Amino acid sequence: MRVFPLAVVAALIMGTGIAHAQDGAVHTRSSTEMTLLDTKGAPPEVPPPHTARHAASSTLHGVVVQDPYRWLENPDDPAVQQWIKAQNGYTEHVIDTMPGNEALSKRVRALAITSTTRSAPRMAGGTLFYMQETPPQPQPVLMAQAWPDGKARALVDLNKDGGGEAITAYWPSPSGRYLAYGTAEGGSELTTIHVLDVKTGQSLADTLPYAGGGTTPQGLAWDADEHGFVYVRFPLPPSGQDVKQFNAELVHHTLGASAGSDKVVFGKGYSEVAEYRLLSSPGAKRLAVLANIGDGGAAEVYVRRDGHFQKLLGRRSNVRGASWIGQRLVLEEFAAAPRGRLLVREPSGELHVLLPPAKGAVQGVTPMGDGFAVVRSWGPDWWIDQYDDHAKFVRRVPLPKSGIGIGGIAAEHGREHALISYGGWGLPSRWVDYDTRTGKLTTVFEVKPASDAYAKIRVQRIDGVSKDGTHVPVTVLSMPGVTPNGKRPTILYSYGGFDIPITPHFVGPYLAWLERGGVLAYANIRGGNEFGEAWHAQGQKLHKQNVFDDFYAAGQALKKAHWTDTAHLGIMGGSNGGLLMGTQIVQHPTAYRAVVSMVGIYDMIRHETNFANGKYNVSEYGSVSDAAQFRATLKYSPLQNVKPKTPYPAVLMTTGANDPRVAPWQSRKFTAALQNASNSGQPILLLTRMHAGHGIGAPFAQRVGNTALALGFFAGELGLDVH
């Protein structure tokens, strides 16, 4: 499963030379880089815990890669457990000595406590289902409401047990009579499916473990008669053994039957790293499957006919998404159109072009009225175009023209009204009822923020110019009166992978940074799909260095525009964005003052072979079994490019002990290498949360704590006035 950007998903926010092969690597520095000046937070009063180095290595394609911190990969080793405990203590000591942390943390929590929020709307049989969170409750509650005038009621509330268990996904039956939903504990994401009767609120006996999550996404499609469903499941392990998160299959479950009696209907032997998206037509009359081998790649398209799945399109068509519009399957195809075009499979079986490429990159298609809607983007701008059943343009939905991201569309084919959720940098999430006949928008729900200051946020755009001349959009957020003076404390964020875009989103508690004179910046670097699939492809595999060059260019653009300088520039990323942070640390060690990197990948050489999700990521990163890809990967892999006696910036890394997407040992090894190599005197910190994962489903307190931790660290290092 993809390694997600933490600032986008679920509003989260959270030595000596290593490799023999790196000896010839040369770091070049731009004339705009400068030596780190210790003008902010004082260096730690105590040194970091000592990390032993033990002889270990790997030989790939004739290259010996030294790995002295490999012993940190084993979490069951008492020495590793003691190391984690010592590092947590060191991190807490350093953070506690930073000035103003308490005041900033208090403000972050106050801003996080908004009015009730809603997300993930879905419509079925005239009932609207959605997730509702009332801060500071730990987890969202799954709700149901007859739309539009029915009374909302809670269906699933997991908060009574403290919030350690989270709802991972949900699937209403076609009429809305039943609801299947998944749960996972402790951040593990390994899902168990439950079923309840929506009318009575009573749970059925059905409990289905190992239903995806972590490495492969969950998925479920109801039968038309609502007597059962098809769902994603890992093969059941022998009694007493742990499940292996590979070889996911589609199995059929009949309500009331045991999980052990469920039969495989598709995917047996398909791929060790199979991923599936299940798409049902209205009334569940038809079922399509988008099947992927790992993450970030094109899908094969299958359609169920007479109980069997028949291939409709192969990967050469580069299908990235699909939706049923009535009984017509509409496919988002990119092979012949880098921005995307729509193909349609008619009920008769005919396949033809429904909608040719248009302005903007296709981000999704969904039923709307008697036709459909297409969500599009171009860089940081997002919008929705409405079409009739014959693909004739009706209108652009009259949402704000810039500065918003589309949260989702809940609609059913043939219904005149659709529900659209969206939000923006200073605009909390809101839902609008959209009349597909007249184009009228009526606000039906909006989050009340904890401050009126969000409306004052100023949004500006600048361009960075990457190494190959590519222009990279950078969105800059600030408050009135905060103008470029060359030394504004600034945080730059991006992601750069898996065709996941950086979209405008509500800054929430990060207002605490802006209102104190800080600046936030977001870069639309390659690896995402903001400009279409070509933008993504230019940041994959052998082209991955483009991602890192783009981000560096974004930081340089902030300096050139006089927003900040090296002494006041911090960078932040998570997951695949943590890899991005790692490359910036080792490729441009004196270009940034501070780095916050969450659940990141830093040892790309062992990510693929020594952690389950690494195999799923080969389609995005390429495989080190290929000699050319190995050489390219070794050149940028952060761990193998740590250099002794180098002035590395201040670094705060975080990880979760139960992370199924990125191995916690990644952070341990990189922390150890940096602590032993850096001569800047700046802190290199690691915080390991023992009851957390990648951040998906994290409880409210953990999310707020991650934000406060990051902002407190940046404030101390970049010199933000926290009072």
Alpha-carbon separation of residue 89 from 79, 95, 679, 686, 711 (angstroms)? 15, 10, 22, 10, 19
304 within domain boundaries: no
Cis amide linkage into residue 357, ω under 30° from 0: no
Length of the chain: 723
Q: Which of 28, 29, 31, 27 is nearest to 560 (CA)?
A: 31
378: its two tokens: 């171009």
Q: Cβ distance 564 to 490 under 8 Å?
A: yes
**Rounded Cα distance, 327 and 281, in Å:** 6
Predicted confidence (pLDDT) at residue 8 exceeds the cutoff of 90: no
Q: Could you give the percent of the chain with pLDDT greater than 70?
A: 94
Q: Could you give the percent of the chain with pLDDT greater than 90?
A: 89
413 within domain boundaries: no
391 within domain boundaries: no
Predicted confidence (pLDDT) at residue 652 exceeds the cutoff of 80: yes
Q: Which residues pair with 387 in a beta bridge?
A: 372, 393
543: its two tokens: 């082209």
- Give residue 1's pLDDT band: very low, low, confident or very high (50, 70, 90): low
**Rounded Cα distance, 606 and 611, in Å:** 8
User: Collapsing DSSP states into helix, strand and coil, what is residue 444?
Assistant: strand
Q: Which residues pair with 310 in a beta bridge?
A: 303
Give the pLDDT confidence of 29-65 residue by residue, as tens digits: 333 333 333 334 556 768 899 999 999 999 999 999 9
- The pLDDT of residue 41: 54
Torsional class of 556: left (φ above 0), alpha (ψ -120 to 50), beta (otherwise): alpha
CATH number of residue 654's parent domain: 3.40.50.1820
Alpha-carbon separation of residue 711 from 95, 477, 688 (angstroms)? 11, 16, 17
- The pLDDT of residue 46: 81
- The pLDDT of residue 290: 98
32 within domain boundaries: no
Torsion of Cα atoms, 252 then 257 then 261 then 265, to 10°: -10
Give the pLDDT confidence of 227-277 residue by residue, as tens digits: 999 999 999 999 989 999 999 999 999 999 999 999 999 999 999 999 999
Strands 490-493 and 519-523: parallel
Q: Average pLDDT of the chain?
A: 92
Give the pLDDT confidence of 475-529 residue by residue, as tens digits: 999 999 999 999 999 999 999 999 999 999 999 999 999 999 999 999 999 999 9
Question: Mean pLDDT, to the nearest integer, of 409-435?
Answer: 96
Looking at residue 425, the DSSP 8-state letter turns out to be T
98 within domain boundaries: yes
- The pLDDT of residue 29: 31
**Rounded Cα distance, 414 and 442, in Å:** 19
**Rounded Cα distance, 476 and 464, in Å:** 12
Give the structural domain span for 694.
Answer: 77-111+452-718
**Rounded Cα distance, 503 and 473, in Å:** 12
Give the pLDDT confidence of 117-143 residue by residue, as tens digits: 999 999 999 999 999 999 999 999 999
660: its two tokens: 């199924």
In sequence order, which residues have a C-beta less than 8 Å from that of residue 308 and are 6 or more positions away? Answer: none
b/e per residue 105-119 (b: at least 16 CB within 10 A): bebbbebbebeebbb
Q: Cβ distance 609 to 528 under 8 Å?
A: no
**Rounded Cα distance, 402 and 382, in Å:** 7
Q: Which residues pair with 574 in a beta bridge?
A: 598
**Rounded Cα distance, 406 and 394, in Å:** 19
3-state percent breakdown (helix, strand, coil) of the chain, nearest 5: 20, 35, 45
Separation of CA 297 from chain center? 16
Q: Cβ distance 345 to 352 under 8 Å?
A: no
Q: What is the Cα gyration radius of the chain?
A: 25
220 within domain boundaries: no
List strands edge to edge, sheet with 404-410: 404-410, 417-424, 427-435, 441-446
629 within domain boundaries: yes
Give the pLDDT confidence of 362-412 residue by residue, as tens digits: 999 999 999 999 999 999 999 999 999 999 999 999 999 999 999 999 999
244 within domain boundaries: no
Q: Which of 5, 14, 12 is nearest to 708 (CA)?
A: 14
Cis amide linkage into residue 647, ω under 30° from 0: no
Give the pLDDT confidence of 427-471 residue by residue, as tens digits: 999 999 999 999 999 999 999 999 999 999 999 999 999 999 999
Number of domains in the chain: 1
**Rounded Cα distance, 8 and 494, in Å:** 10
**Rounded Cα distance, 564 and 444, in Å:** 41
Alpha-carbon separation of residue 335 from 298, 316, 344, 627, 645 (angstroms)? 9, 7, 15, 27, 48
Angle 500-504-510 from CA coordinates, rounded to 5° = 110
Q: Which residues pair with 167 in a beta bridge?
A: 183
- Give residue 149's pLDDT band: very low, low, confident or very high (50, 70, 90): confident
Q: Which of 658, 497, 678 is nearest to 595 (CA)?
A: 678
Q: Which of 266, 267, 305, 269 is nearest to 287 (CA)?
A: 305
Cis amide linkage into residue 148, ω under 30° from 0: yes
- The pLDDT of residue 296: 77
